[in-house]
Amino acid sequence: MKTTVVGNYPKIPSSKDGVNLRRAINREEKGKISSVELEEIRQKTIIRTINDQLDAGVDIITDGQIRWNELTFPMATSMTGALPGGLRRFYDNNNYYRRPQVTDLLTRTKSFVTDEYKFAAEQSDRPVKAVLCGPITFCDMTDNFYYKSFDKTAEAITDLLAEEVSDLISAGCKHIQIDEPSLPLFKHKMGLARELIDRIFAGTKVESSIFIYFNSIAPIAEGLFDLPVNGIGLDLVSHSGDIDLLADFDPDKTLVAGLFDGRNIMLENEKKIRASIEKILTYLDNDKLILSPSCGLEFLPQKYAIAKMKRMTEIAKKLSAGKGK
């Protein structure tokens, strides 16, 4: 049974002597180190993040989004037409994001994440998944002062996401995940979402997936399972009842089951995880299931993030052994 992670990862180490990106950013702001030195620290941090995941035995990894401050960051900092706005709470977390202000035509000035993907892929012998913020969530997290409507903004960002997906595929990327945590809040936009997701991945052969965390998928389950993607990732911790909705899951799709709480340090009880997996396997085949944390691991200090990944891969290994694989 395979394992993956959702995206972000703690940027600073639990040990005192590790490379410390927080300190480096502060020192660069004060002029004590150069931007070149800061870039070295960023790269070392990404390599550590990749090694933490490889050492823990995760099969499909990410670069930990070490360069990002928030989900919209790589887009907001690589486009004309978007300015940084005030801080706003990121869903129900003690975590805050700068809300982009769309004030002009959105165009890409550079790739959103393709350069980051290339760097990470060079460091890893296992597949690196690229993650992008989906159009509905982007619009939910943005103040639009330029486009005529929510839908027009969503379409504009979708065109740029499609360009990015094409760049990623050219760079050799095989796994692309679109995060849409806001989608359950936009039941009335599911038709639009379907159209946009289709446009993002049209004509590609990449392993495409969509991940929903924090919000319950109950309002949109049917439309969500029907989206034109290969895989669907779900936070099955924040709303454990959502597991029952999988009765309607499309068995041709892969389920990325977020059963490990990315927001709490407590390690999951193996029996409980096994029970959840048994239930899920009544709805889909073993080879269509990938285990995952419920969300990015940046809500935990590094040593707890490592422990969380290890617990996940240990259970996956035992389950695979039990199935004779």
Partner 1 sequence: MLQTTSVGSFPKPPYLVAARAKFAAQKISYDELFELEQKATRELIEMQERIGIDIFVHGEMERGDMATYFAEKLKGFTISGPVRAYGNRYYRKPIVSGDVTRPEAMTVAMFEYAQSLTDKPVKGMLTGPYTMCDWSFNNFYADRRALTLALAEVIGEEARALEDAGAKYIQIDEPAISTRPEELDLAIEAMGIVTHGMKAKTISHICYGDFKTIYPKILDLPVDQLDLEFANSDFSNLEIFKDPPFTKEIALGVLDIHSHTIESVGQVKEWILSALEVFPPEKVYIDPDCGLKTRTLEETEAKLKIMVQAVREIKAEKGWE
- Interacting residues toward partner 1 by CB under 8 A: 10-12, 14, 22, 25-26, 69-70, 86-89, 92-98, 264-266, 298-304
CB of 66 to partner 1, least distance (A): 11
> Which one-letter amino acid corresponds to residue 112?
F
CB of 263 to partner 1, least distance (A): 9
Q: Which is nearer to partner 1, 99 or 174 (CB)?
A: 99
Q: Which residue number, 29 or 248, has a Cβ lying nearer to partner 1?
A: 29
Nearer to partner 1, 86 or 172 (CB): 86
Exposed, middle or buried: residue 287 (CB in 10 Å: 0-12, 13-18, 19+)? exposed
Q: Supply the minimum distance, in Å, between the C-beta of residue 219 and partner 1.
A: 16
Q: Which is nearer to partner 1, 21 or 165 (CB)?
A: 21
Residue 146 DSSP class:
S
CB of 297 to partner 1, least distance (A): 11
Which string of b and e fits 139-164 if b means at least 16 CB within 10 Å?
bbbbebeebeebeebbbbbbbbbbbb
Q: Sheet containing 79-83: give its strands across.
A: 79-83, 101-108, 143-144
Whose tokens are 């360069």? That residue is 67
Nearest-approach distance from CB 298 to partner 1, in angstroms:
6
| Closer of 111 and 264 to partner 1 (Cβ) | 264
Closest by alpha carbon to 64, among 136, 12, 140? 12
CA distance linking residue 258 with residue 321, whole number of Å = 21
Cα separation of 99 and 82, whole Å?
10
